[in-house]
Structure 1
Amino acid sequence: MQRRPGFPARLSGTGGPPPARGTALPGVPVTTSAGVGLDSAAVRERMVGKLAAGGITSAPVLQAMAAVERHRFVDSALVNQAYEDTSLPIGLAQTISKPSVVARMCELLLGAQAARERGLGRVLEIGTGCGYQAAVLSYLAREVYTIERLRGLHDKARHNLRPFRLANVHLLLGDGMLGYAKGAPYAAIISAAGGDVIPQEWCDQLAVGGRLVAPMSVAGGQQMLLVIDKTPQGLNQSVLEPVNFVPLKSGVA
């Protein structure tokens, strides 16, 4: 497995993610930059406004969604749809998740007791895809390990993330169903693919006090969003709303 990204490992003068760029939200000061078209803060402001109207209340999540330029993670033919609340193809039969789904799952991660008390520490993302969600997570977590089983998408994510120079994001090529034991324990685990069961490796690698958020297939083949909290007494599971993710698969291709 590749343990470190193929772009610089540290930012000049800081050990964390870059300052947020984007929309000024109530109580969340951020730096705005002038721009036109898809690169303007106003375009992301409209998207973030819709997220807030749709029920996302976490200021850090809204700030992260405002900071990350989603159009940089989609193909050029689809950039005009980049800030719509829709999933888009990214190649190899995979998709970039809806902004509302990314925001919802990130907000759930921040809702874990440990995250509320100490902030979000080390996160494992299953399914890097094009790298968009990893970039959002970089603004929320101390460290992000993100694993992708498809070499073509792993390379695409590395290409997409390189300009952001995110020192706290580590790209891995490998079987996400196995997690990444070398980085464990994780304060949070988030999956962008759903299977019939949650792999035991994920539960084993989750820290006590941590939270796992993932889609899972239930009776009839429908996918539901699942939240698992790991406590000293064991695992507490909550089943939330229906979702639609690509299937969880094993192996590397």
Structure 2
Amino acid sequence: MILQDTQTLPNGVAIPKLALGTWMIDDDKVVEAVKAAVEIGYRHIDTAQAYGNERGVGEGVRTCGVPREDLFVQTKLAAEVKDYDGAKAAIEGSLETLGLDYIDLMIIHSPKPWADWAGEDRFFEGNLAAWKALEEALEAGKIRAIGVSNFQKADLDNLLENATVKPMINQVLAHIGNTPFELIDYAKSKGMLVEAYSPIAHGKILDNAEIGAMAAKYGVSIPQLCIRYILQLDLLALPKTANPDHMKTNADVDFEISAEDMEVLKAITDKDYGDASVFPVYSGTA
């Protein structure tokens, strides 16, 4: 079953291939979502300072009945934190809010603060300062692995060329219809793993007739086809849901998309994010 499958980060830490995403799940509701996911078999839980639900995620992890060392908890340093002292305090803040002794993976949420998403400044110095705080927390054993999210090639190169520890993972927007192949290949060429958030395209892809026909061919749902596509690209997948039934079907992806059909899916370009376009990551600028 896919929930038992892992990839290995550059420092040897195992990371489960399929995670429970928790964006937009309220802090008071996420506790039960995490516990339900763990009961189904999920072992990788993704959260972020920006989600405002680290407290609930931590409570779910602590009370789910599975030993802490068997779970993989990932959180994200807020995009606005671009200084060493601020990052150091924010890391401690996440540990305290989660109520955990360590975090398995912590990543910089974005190379640019969300309010500056469309700007020219890539905040190279600020990212290096924040990264230094993550490196120190890694060294101290407070974090087991460190990485980034939404980083483009120039942002990755800034860390690769100037930091002591290379980023171990880049979490990016990737799904059928919008797969950044060049960025994915570049990150992999530098030894990073790549995680795909919004693998079901924030739900808008459910209306695509071509993808629907392909899912029908395999006798699976569109979300299942989308998750399988991501896994066959050798990416980690982070579908978000608070619905236990969806958690189960999202993990029921032990089928194989043929090489020919993968090429068809790779060629699709469809990314209507609807109402979600107001969020920077779906706005088309980076």
TM-score, normalised relative to structure 1: 0.33
> Higher Cα Rg: structure 1 or 2?
2
Q: Considering fraction of residues, name the structure with more strand.
A: 1
- Normalised to the residue count of structure 2, the TM-score between the two structures is 0.31
* Higher helix proportion (structure 1 or 2): 2
